[in-house]
A and B are shown apart, each in its own frame.
Chain A
Amino acid sequence: DTAVSQTPKYLVTQMGNDKSIKCEQNLGHDTMYWYKQDSKKFLKIMFSYNNKELIINETVPNRFSPKSPDKAHLNLHINSLELGDSAVYFCASSQRDRGIEEQYFGPGTRLTVT
C-alpha cells in the first residue's frame, strides 16, 4: 500500500493552461506539504497544511493555490502555467507531535510546460 500517493506522475502541458496535482496519504498524519524541486535539484517547500489549515506559504506566486479538503488530502492547482513552473513537485506528510523531520514523500509529479 502506497503511503503517500500523487497523481499524475507526469504532466506535460502548454503555457497558459491550468492544471491540478492531487496528493493523498494513508499514514494518518495531520500535516502535509508541497515541495518544488527544480532542474538544479534544489528542493524547496511551497506550502504546509496542518489539519486542513495553511501554516506555511513560502512566497509562492498566487497562481499556485493549494487546497486541503481533509487532512489526508492536499491538492495543488496551478493557473496560467509558465515555462519556469517546469519541475518535479513532491507532496509529503508528517505527524506534527512526532516532529516534522520524519516527512514521508510521495513519488513526485514531473511537470513539463512547453
Chain B
Amino acid sequence: RKEVEQDPGPFNVPEGATVAFNCTYSNSASQSFFWYRQDCRKEPKLLMSVYSSGNEDGRFTAQLNRASQYISLLIRDSKLSDSATYLCVVNTGFQKLVFGTGTRLLVSP
C-alpha cells in the first residue's frame, strides 16, 4: 500500500464549480499534513496546511480526519487559474515529507 494515495484524476470542471479532492495516508503516526500545488512543468508550492479542526483560506478549505486517516481539499468557485496538480503531503515524523502522486484539476471556461 502506498503511504499517501490520491485519485490521479483528471477532474474536469467548469469555471465556478466546486470540486473536492481526497487523500488517504497509511501511517497513523503521521504528524502533520499539507496540500501543495504544482503547475505544469513547475515546482511544487505549499498551498495550505491541514488541521483537524479544518481550515479555510479564501476559496480553499482543507480538512483532516485522523481516525479515518483521510485528508480533503475543497475548492469553491473554481477559476481557470486553479488548473494544476494538487499534491497531498504527509509529514511521517521521520524528518521527511511524503508526497502523493497528485490529483490533476482542469478548469474550463
Question: Which A residues fall within an 8 A CB radius of B?
Answer: 40-45, 48, 55-56, 58, 90, 99-103, 105-108
The answer, among B42, B87, B95, for a CB contact under 8 Å with A55, is: B95
CB pairs A–B below 8 angstroms (27 shown) = A41-B85, A41-B102, A42-B99, A43-B87, A44-B99, A45-B96, A45-B97, A45-B98, A56-B94, A56-B95, A56-B96, A58-B96, A90-B44, A100-B91, A100-B95, A100-B96, A101-B32, A101-B34, A101-B46, A101-B49, A101-B89, A101-B97, A105-B43, A105-B45, A106-B43, A107-B43, A108-B41
In the complex, how many angstroms separate the beta carbon of B60 from the nearest chain A beta carbon?
16
State whether B91 touches A101 (Cβ < 8 A): yes
Chain B residues in 8 Å Cβ range of A41? 85, 101-102
Q: Which residues of B contact A43 (CB under 8 A)?
A: 44, 87, 99
Contact of A99 among B32, B44, B96, B101 (CB under 8 A): B32
Cα A102 to Cα B32 with chains together (Å)? 11
Per the bound structure, the CA–CA distance linking A108 and B45 in Å amounts to 12
- Chain B interface residue count: which class? 20 to 34
B2 to chain A: closest residue by CB = A42
Interchain CA distance A99-B94 in the complex, whole Å = 12
Complex CA distance for A105 and B46, rounded to whole angstroms:
9
Told that A100-B91, A107-B43 touch, could you supply 15 new A-B pairs with CB distance under 8 A? A41-B102, A45-B96, A45-B97, A45-B98, A48-B95, A99-B32, A100-B95, A101-B49, A102-B46, A103-B46, A103-B97, A105-B44, A105-B45, A107-B42, A108-B41
**Distance A114 CA – B108 CA, assembled complex (angstroms):** 37
Instruction: Report which of A42, A48, A100, A108 forms a contact with B101, defined as CB distance below 8 A.
Output: A42
CA distance A34 to B101 in the complex (A): 17
Contacts of B42 in A (CB 8 A): 107-108
Whole-angstrom distance between the alpha carbons of A56 and B94 in the complex? 9
- Alpha-carbon separation in the docked complex, A58 to B3 (Å): 15
Give A108 to B41 CA distance when docked, in angstroms: 9
Tell me the residues in window 69-98 of chain B with beta carbons closer than 8 Å to chain A beta carbons: 85, 87, 89, 91, 94-98
C-alpha gap A44/B87 in the complex (Å): 12
